[in-house]
Chain A
């Protein structure tokens, strides 16, 4: 039997931090906490001073203007090599919206991920799982007029990491997003439904609001699946920035 003393300790620390956050006054933060001890690498890499409030200037209220020349034909990660990658072919699609539900048009969406065996092409990934010569795991696209994006890829595998003994990341796809203003910039990770590793993962659990955590999980969507071809997942992304109005959560929302 594997000794999971360290994993148990991580889960206990996560539980204590969630309890503290829930007991604090005010709404739970949406974003991951930068100071989140169970994710050991955060210890020396989070600021200890409070952030300084700044009014965004014109440059921060606009975003770089990406175009289709920036991302032509890079939305299908399964056709980047001579052969077909191994693994479960999937379609991941959704819309990028702002807090008012308006589409974020013509903006760059970048993804990167491990292959079906849980191995990244990155040279520092030392996980002894096979590389797939037919899969790099990098994609780019530009959102449509309705804010939509669509990638064809391979379902990534979970993989071990060195945070603690027997630490495994739930399967995920990294996403990088731009809004219509730079203050909406977001880098995050999309997860798959019902992953048994969620409760054990300090990166996923660094979001202390359970509703917010759920929003990182794509939904299986049979309308997106294509017969004899690929399973479909739908994941909408909501970016809010300085223009968004902060609203009091409804009573009991975090009960």
Chain B
């Protein structure tokens, strides 16, 4: 038997990551679900709207994108009650999913989350899937100034802000490429997110 060092054995035992593939064009009858865009019931007093348009590198609306939002409750805590797809008309589930319409527009109703920690601003994690996008993209929709935004190039920072455009309504556009390209985030540290 050839000698093997321990690190070699440990490496061979490690589990290799499964790669991504595009969501493709035909998810529309599969992934959206009833009430998916209503993370909080639209008639509840603290409900807000988060909406926007997804555009491509030519500035054209992307008509076949899917967005997911994931956020804390109004006190800033993650929601751990089971049943995140289930809508009972009053509970806030924290997780929402919405396909864009033919004009690339999406709209969620949710609650404005609380701040995650003192001195930090509330935000929603936004995940973008689309035909033509081979691996999803993460970004954040911030409701206030946050120290993290200071670390982002000044001329791109505003792409991470949800902009108030009406009573209890915020606009968050997603530009996949080109002028005003949205800042997309890498949580893993491999440059690919």
Contact = CB atoms under 8 A, between A and B. Distances in A.
Given A65-B81, A237-B18, A34 B26 contact: no
Of B11, B68, B188, most buried by chain A (CB within 10 Å of CB) is: B188
Which DSSP category, helix, strand, loop or mixed, fits chain A's interface?
A: loop
B134 A32 contact: yes
Contact of B134 (A42, A51, A71, A185): A42
A71 to B, nearest CB: 8
B28 to A, nearest CB: 6
Given A59-B71, A183-B188, A42 B19 contact: no
Interface in B163-193: 176-178, 181-193
A224 interface: no
Given A44-B176, A45-B57, A112 B26 contact: yes
B192 A31 contact: yes
Contact of B19 (A97, A122, A215, A241): A215
Contacts of A69: 82-83, 86
Interface in A61-107: 62, 64-67, 69-71, 97-101
Contact of A54 (B26, B27, B137, B185): B185
Contacts of B30: 110-112, 137-138, 174
Contacts of A166: none
Interface in B9-35: 11, 13-31
B130 interface: yes
A228 interface: no
B57 A43 contact: yes
Nearest to B152: A52
Contact of B25 (A57, A122, A246): A122
Contacts of B26: 112, 114, 120, 122, 124-125
Nearest to B65: A45
A42 B133 contact: yes
B134 A36 contact: yes
Interface string B115-137: 01000100001010111111111
A145 to B, nearest CB: 15
A121 B181 CA distance: 34
Given A48-B178, A67-B82, A32 B11 contact: no
A238 B16 contact: yes
B58 interface: yes
Interface string A213-255: 1011000000000000000000001111110101100100000
B187 A54 contact: yes
B135 A32 contact: yes
Contact of A112 (B29, B86, B93, B133): B29
Nearest to A212: B19
A114 B113 CA distance: 39
Contacts of B78: 58-59, 62
B29 A57 contact: no
B15 to A, nearest CB: 5
B187 A206 contact: no
A196 interface: no
Given A34-B133, A99-B15, A187-B136, A59 B116 contact: yes
Contacts of A203: 21-22, 134
Interface string A146-165: 00000000000000000000
A189 interface: yes
A211 interface: yes
Contacts of A43: 57, 132
Interface of A: 29-34, 36, 39, 41-60, 62, 64-67, 69-71, 97-101, 108, 110-112, 114, 120-125, 136-138, 172, 174, 176, 182-183, 185-189, 203-204, 206-207, 209, 211-213, 215-216, 237-242, 244, 246-247, 250
Enumerate the 7 nearest inter-chain pairs by beta-carbon distance, A residue then B residue, closest first: A41-B132, A112-B30, A67-B82, A64-B84, A32-B134, A45-B132, A44-B57
